[in-house]
């Protein structure tokens, strides 16, 4: 699909720059791509938006050489490379214009660019409409999907093989975006989620991008969440499942913490686990399941998306773990069967492989006010207000006489603001 720029020829350079586009008015984006730090850029003409909220800015303020080399009025397509086999290319942003490709890292044009598209991506056509990365596991191998009209080119990064397909059921994409392990085709001011292998549309689409991928007045889908100050962050629970997905919970929202490549974003808990939408007391992961404790109830979900409540739940805390509430925090270390349950200033250990389950040992804790805790490869973290404390193991937490130095929650960890 040819991208049209109505009236641009009649604007002077200065007047054109002053006429900032408004994505809340309904924009058909030229390209969407995140950088190596997880900042997502939305491109239209010679402007871009940095992130999901805020005004348009000139593209040359972020990617200077695009203007220096070609005085570009727009880009055709862009994506962030996922190719861990080639660290020199991994996480670079690739821009496409006509028959040229530009490679950027840390917002700096790599030496030797721009190049002909055929030199880097043989078999891929020029004058593209969209492009998006597809890592191994989501596609058969690390790949890039290129869109031109109603044709899709699957480019295998290892073999350089190109497979051309026609996905007639998918709208012609003018930009494409991989976000939180899902793929989206943008067309007009709408988007459609699709399977990157088959092109199948997943769910009810199209949807208005203004309700999901940007902050616009009068456009909401019920998940608007204000970014808190780091000094005000107080966690109710935190856990990491067997696949490495890490979730933090506060009030009625949750956040994925392992998605730094896509930025950190907060969502209503009910979006993923509707039965505990109003908040949780403690959460832990064990044997491909996530356990939510709320009052004297335990809800168990399958970890794999979409999260499904196990039949027969919720059950009482007494029936499931052999204890009465309330529970302040709970965590399980990888490859272990013990859930460490913190109640007040005591830690109770329960063997999850035993039947019936009951408290096996109990320890007084040196630290009071613990609200959340998790166990990872680097040890145990317990959270008190906007600080956390690090211990090398649950046993060291239990037997310590002195508390370690508190560590402040930072934007890098939780996506909060200073």
Per-residue model confidence as pLDDT tens digits over 280-316: 999 999 999 999 999 999 999 998 777 899 999 999 9
How far is it, in rounded angstroms, from Cα 413 to Cα 257?
A: 7
Query: Comparing 26-35, 248-257, 273-282, 356-365, which segment has the lowest mean pLDDT?
Result: 248-257
Domain boundaries, the chain: 31-211, 230-414
Equal CATH topology for 31-211 and 230-414: yes
Per-residue tokens: 99: 């028959």
How far is it, in rounded angstroms, from Cα 341 to Cα 331?
A: 7
Is-cis flag, bond preceding 248, omega within 30? no
User: In the β-sheet with 253-256, what is the strand arrangement from edge to edge?
Assistant: 237-240, 246-250, 253-256, 266-268
Confidence of residue 154 (pLDDT cuts 50, 70, 90): very high
Backbone angles phi, psi at 292, to 5 degrees: -110, 130
CA-closest candidate to residue 123, choices 95, 151, 94, 164: 164
Q: CB-based burial of residue 238 (10 Å sphere; 0-12 exposed, 13-18 middle, 19+ buried)?
A: buried
The strand ranges marked E within 16-56 are 31-34, 40-44, 47-50
The overall average pLDDT reported for the chain is 89
Is-cis flag, bond preceding 334, omega within 30? no
How far is it, in rounded angstroms, from Cα 412 to Cα 418?
A: 10
Which secondary structure element, helix H or strand E, spans residue 103, and what is its range?
strand 100-105
CA 147 to chain centre: 23
pTM, two decimals, is 0.72
Per-residue tokens: 4: 């049209």
Q: Is the pLDDT of residue 251 over 60?
A: yes
What would the mean pLDDT of 383-399 be, rounded to a whole number? 95
Q: Which CATH architecture has domain 31-211?
A: 4 Propeller (2.110)
How far is it, in rounded angstroms, from Cα 255 to Cα 414?
A: 8
Where is pLDDT greater, at 301 or 220? 301
CATH class of 230-414: mainly beta
CA 342 to chain centre: 30
Confidence of residue 221 (pLDDT cuts 50, 70, 90): low
Task: State the pLDDT at residue 69.
Answer: 57
CA-closest candidate to residue 124, choices 142, 99, 90: 99
Helix (H, G, I), strand (E, B) or coil at 398: helix
Where is pLDDT greater, at 303 or 391? 391
């Amino acid at each position: 699909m040819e991208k049209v720029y109505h009236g641009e020829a009649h604007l002077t350079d200065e007047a054109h720059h002053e006429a900032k586009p408004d994505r809340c008015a309904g924009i058909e984006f030229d390209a969407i791509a995140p950088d190596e730090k997880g900042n997502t850029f939305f491109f239209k003409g010679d402007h871009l938006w940095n992130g999901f909220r805020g005004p348009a800015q000139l593209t040359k303020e972020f990617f200077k050489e695009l203007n220096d080399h070609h005085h570009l009025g727009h880009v055709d397509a862009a994506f962030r490379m996922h190719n861990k086999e080639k660290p020199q290319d991994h996480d670079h942003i690739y821009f496409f214009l006509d028959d040229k490709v530009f490679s950027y890292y840390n917002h700096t044009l790599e030496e030797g660019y721009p190049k002909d598209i055929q030199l880097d991506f043989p078999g891929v056509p020029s004058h593209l409409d969209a492009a998006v990365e597809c890592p191994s596991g989501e596609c058969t191998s690390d790949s890039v999907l290129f869109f031109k009209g109603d044709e899709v080119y699957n480019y295998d990064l290892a073999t350089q093989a190109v497979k051309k397909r026609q996905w007639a059921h998918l709208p012609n994409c003018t930009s494409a975006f991989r976000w939180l392990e899902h793929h989206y085709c943008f067309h007009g001011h709408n988007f459609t989620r699709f399977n990157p292998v088959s092109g199948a549309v997943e769910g009810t689409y199209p949807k208005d991008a203004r309700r999901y991928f940007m902050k616009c007045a009068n456009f909401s889908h019920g998940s608007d969440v204000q970014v808190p100050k780091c000094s005000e962050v107080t966690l109710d629970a935190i856990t990491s499942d067997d696949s490495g997905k890490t979730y933090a919970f506060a009030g009625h929202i949750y956040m994925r913490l392992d998605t730094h490549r896509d930025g950190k974003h907060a969502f209503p808990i009910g979006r993923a686990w509707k039965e505990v939408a109003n908040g949780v007391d403690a959460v832990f992961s064990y044997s491909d399941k996530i356990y939510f404790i709320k009052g004297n109830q335990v809800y168990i979900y399958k970890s794999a998306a979409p999260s499904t409540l196990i039949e027969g739940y919720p059950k009482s805390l007494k029936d499931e773990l052999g204890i009465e509430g309330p529970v302040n925090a709970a965590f399980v270390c990888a490859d272990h069967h013990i859930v460490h349950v913190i109640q007040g200033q005591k830690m109770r250990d329960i063997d999850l492989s035993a039947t019936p389950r009951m408290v096996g040992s109990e320890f007084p804790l040196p630290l009071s006010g613990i609200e959340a805790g998790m166990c990872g490869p680097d040890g145990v973290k317990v959270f008190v207000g906007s600080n956390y404390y690090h211990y090398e193991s649950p046993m060291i937490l239990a037997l310590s006489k002195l508390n370690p130095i508190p560590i402040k929650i930072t934007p890098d960890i939780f996506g909060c603001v200073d």
